[in-house]
Amino acid sequence: MYKRVTLRDTVEVPPEDLADVTPDLVKKLLQDKLEGRVDEDVGSVVSVVNVKDIGEGAVVPNEPGVYYEAEFDAVTYDPQMQEVVDGEIVEVVDFGAFVGIGPVDGLLHVSQISDEYLAYDGENQQLASRDTNRTIGTGDAVRARIVTKSIDERNPRDSKIGLTAKQIGLGKHGWLQEEREQRKTQAEAGEN
């Protein structure tokens, strides 16, 4: 889930910028330092939005810069257990599909996509059902639920988020639309 939060952190201002320590400069330094970083408490820092307060500078012996503590607003993304997310399939492999959800990817294991057997088609980057001829591949929009989460702060790319799309209302957007139209047609036929 995306959140706007107020954070505090310390940033080093290099000697060449000490003559003009402005909120814009501190914001840029905070962006360079924090954006893309994962923190267990707030999730991934997507963007530093604005600097609210800059404290007094502190000099550290044998360090050329001056350290300032700043209070700022940031947009973060913190996936929550059982959260329903919409994303796009960014890669298909023989064991499932990776779904881009915010700044991270979640794994939609082949066993969590459908009750049907899905075969891997590497040439077309998709998983295909032999029974219903349904396919799911790179670029498809999907709705899924987060069922596992293991965040690695040191190596955010090694974080693991597990997804499922087997419940009602989850799956490839095209499949969900087909099911809505099918229910509508059945309801209209029942009225006659």
- DSSP assignment of the chain, as one string? -EEEEEEEEEEEEPGGGTT---HHHHHHHHHHHHTT-EETTTEEEEEEEEEEEEEEEEE-TT-SSEEEEEEEEEEEE---TT-EEEEEEEEEETTEEEEEETTEEEEEEGGGT-SS-EEEETTTTEEEETTT--EEETT-EEEEEEEEEE--SS-GGG-EEEEE--STT-EEHHHHHHHHHHHHHHHHHHH-
pLDDT above 80 for 87: yes
Q: Write down all domains in the chain, each with its CATH number in brackets.
A: 2-77 (3.30.1490.120), 84-189 (2.40.50.140)
192 pLDDT band (50/70/90 cuts)? Answer: low
Q: How do residues 18-67 score in pLDDT, each as one tens digit?
A: 888 999 999 999 999 999 888 778 888 999 999 999 999 999 999 899 99
